[in-house]
């Protein structure tokens, strides 16, 4: 992509939804500016992101609701799947044909749904409350999430891979890796971090997803990125959080 670089605005201390966008840039080797992770002196920090959310972005651009936000020239895009739908074809990480691109977008939206549900496990009542203020509800939600929702979503995604494998490709869409495959890697990494027991139980049912995640992690640029300090670790502030009690085998 031509200069100037895209500017990504996302919370600086969590991988979160921003990571789905970072992975695409990193895999493509496309330069980008991770604005909120720069210092204030460098024109970054959370204040720069807040300014964008307050409408201080390029004139005539749509006001974004929440990060991640991508800015390129006077274009301001929010919503992770929407960002990737725009970015993917420009950096060689989307199918060439329209149908393939539509399929990729549909899968990315499905991934976004699961990401949202993973978040809601530790925040089932309100985003504005702490986890400890909604723990009984979280425990109840976690049981349903790990026993019903993760298997349903991942079972579906496994079947998608199985169908594409019949056409000879070990990817979600088309015959080469797309941003969806990178997102599937990140989704699995997050779920394994947050729900290790549930994911271990489920492992025999998702061999293709597991193999794809390994292949994605071994892609040369991503392998280097994952080993670098640019890659943020999962933690207790992000979307994928590990609370042992939410990953328990107990019936609730």
Ligand X SMILES: N[C@@H](CCC(=O)N[C@@H](CS)C(=O)NCC(=O)O)C(=O)O
Strand (E) or helix (H) holding 128? none
Q: Is 211 in the site for ligand X (CB under 6 A)?
A: no
Q: How far is the CB of 131 from ligand X (least distance, A)?
A: 16
Q: Which of residues 108-137 bind ligand X (CB under 6 A)?
A: 112, 127
Could you say which of 51, 63, 66, 203 contacts ligand X (CB under 6 A)? 66
Buried b (16+ CB within 10 A) or exposed e, 59-73: eeeeebeebbbbbbe
Q: If you ran DSSP here, which 8-state letter would residue 245 be given?
A: G
Q: Is 79 in the site for ligand X (CB under 6 A)?
A: yes
Residues 121 and 202: their CA atoms lie apart, in Å, by: 18
Q: Using CB under 6 A as the criterion, what x/- string covers residues 134-173 for binding ligand X?
A: ----------------------------------------
Residues 37 and 11: their CA atoms lie apart, in Å, by: 8
Q: How far is the CB of 79 from ligand X (least distance, A)?
A: 5
Q: Is 85 in the site for ligand X (CB under 6 A)?
A: no
Strand partners, 69: 9, 78
Stretch that binds ligand X, among 25-33, 62-70, 182-190, 225-233 (CB under 6 A): 62-70
Q: Is 16 in the site for ligand X (CB under 6 A)?
A: yes
Q: Is 67 in the site for ligand X (CB under 6 A)?
A: yes
Half-sphere exposure of 122 (CA within 13 A, CB side): 22
Residues 187 and 166: their CA atoms lie apart, in Å, by: 23
Could you say which of 7, 8, 15, 17 contacts ligand X (CB under 6 A)? 17
CB 57 within 8 A of CB 71: yes
Binding region for ligand X (CB under 6 A): 16-17, 66-68, 79-80, 112, 127
């Amino acid at each position: 992509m031509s200069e100037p670089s895209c500017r990504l605005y996302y919370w600086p201390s969590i991988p979160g939804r921003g990571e789905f966008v970072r992975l695409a840039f990193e895999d493509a080797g496309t330069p980008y500016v991770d604005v909120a992770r720069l210092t204030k002196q460098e024109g970054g920090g959370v204040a720069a992101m807040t300014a964008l959310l307050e409408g201080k972005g390029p004139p005539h651009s749509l006001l974004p609701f929440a990060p991640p936000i991508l800015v390129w020239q006077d274009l301001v895009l929010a919503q992770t799947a929407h960002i990737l739908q725009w970015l993917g074809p420009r950096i060689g990480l989307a199918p060439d044909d329209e149908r393939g691109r539509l399929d990729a977008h549909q899968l990315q939206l499905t991934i976004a749904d699961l990401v949202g549900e993973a978040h809601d496990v530790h925040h089932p009542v309100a985003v504005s409350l702490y986890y400890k203020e909604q723990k009984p509800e979280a425990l109840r939600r976690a049981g349903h999430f790990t026993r019903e929702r993760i298997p349903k979503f991942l079972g579906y995604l496994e079947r998608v891979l199985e169908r594409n494998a019949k056409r000879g490709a070990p990817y979600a869409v088309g015959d080469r890796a797309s941003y969806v495959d990178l997102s599937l890697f990140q989704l699995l990494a997050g779920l394994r971090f947050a729900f290790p027991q549930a994911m271990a139980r489920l492992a025999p049912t998702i061999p293709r997803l597991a193999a794809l995640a390994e292949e994605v992690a071994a892609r040369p640029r991503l392998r280097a990125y994952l080993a670098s300090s640019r890659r943020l670790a999962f933690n207790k502030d992000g979307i994928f959080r590990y609370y042992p009690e939410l990953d328990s085998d107990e019936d609730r």
